[in-house]
Amino acid sequence: LSCRRQSTERFQIQRGTSDPNSYRSLSDCFRTIFRREGVYGFYKGILPPILAETPKRAVKFFTFEQYRKLLSYSGLSAGLSLSVAGLGSGLTEALVVNPFEVVKVSLQANRDSFKVQPSTFAQARLIINSDGFGLRGLNKGLTSTLGRHGVFNMIYFGFYFNVKDAIPSSQDPRLEFLRKFAIGLASGTISSCVNIPFDVAKSRIQGPQPVPGEIKYRSCFQTMALVYREEGYLALYKGLVPKVMRLGPGGAVMLLVYEYVSGWLQRNW
């Protein structure tokens, strides 16, 4: 997963293929990182996601349940309320995870050897000392992160629960598991395909600017428009393959664990 996360960010921050340091394919990206940065190059920026993962997932599912309960009194249809609850949980999750993303992207954009690059905490201190905690510092790219997580969770939860209710369940536990896994896989894959332009914008804003000291990528939609104008429509989908490889099955596993654990808790507590 770390390799896929690393390659996703590397593809998203590179600008076109004219750069001699650009990656031509996923396998070329893996080979180049291994050759130039060693095996530890795949684990650059791994600590921020590890530190953020538990609170991030807790916020995602806890707030989804709370928004879902609140919206049950709103008069919205059940299907729409699930999507809106997902949107709310994604926006809340983004507020928690964005500072970790800023540190992670800045570490993953560094192509120096793993041994000579700054540690996670040293990089965080560097960002805070130079730009502070605001939208130019530790919360840089917040709008793009809000879009990325909001859109992802809106589709992720809305698609999964609506489709799951529409497809008859099976009495066979193995078939029921496969049914839920397949719907979760589709949910994670579709969500990744739809929200990736926000992901590319986030990586460009949080990563190194083309000209040091000059801010080219300023805001979410300005960055999307600029990438589209300079590099074409497909540039907004850079890193899609490793992202889907990570979040397709990962999204399915997450929803299955959530369903089975929450079901067990409700039955026993």
Q: Which of 158, 154, 161 is nearest to 198 (CA)?
A: 154
Res 152: pLDDT: 97
Q: What percent of the chain has pLDDT over 70?
A: 85
In the predicted structure, residue 23 carries a pLDDT above the cut 70: no
Q: Which of 47, 42, 40 is nearest to 114 (CA)?
A: 40
Please tell me the CATH code under which domain 2-268 is placed. 1.50.40.10
Longest CA–CA span in the chain (Å) reads 62
Q: What is the mean pLDDT of residues 239-244?
A: 90
Q: What is the mean pLDDT of residues 95-122?
A: 82
The domains of the chain are located at 2-268
Could you tell me the pTM of the whole model? 0.83
In the predicted structure, residue 2 carries a pLDDT above the cut 50: no
Res 109: pLDDT: 78
8 A C-beta contact, residue 88 and residue 63: yes
In the predicted structure, residue 259 carries a pLDDT above the cut 80: yes
Most confident of 24-38, 75-89, 205-219: 75-89
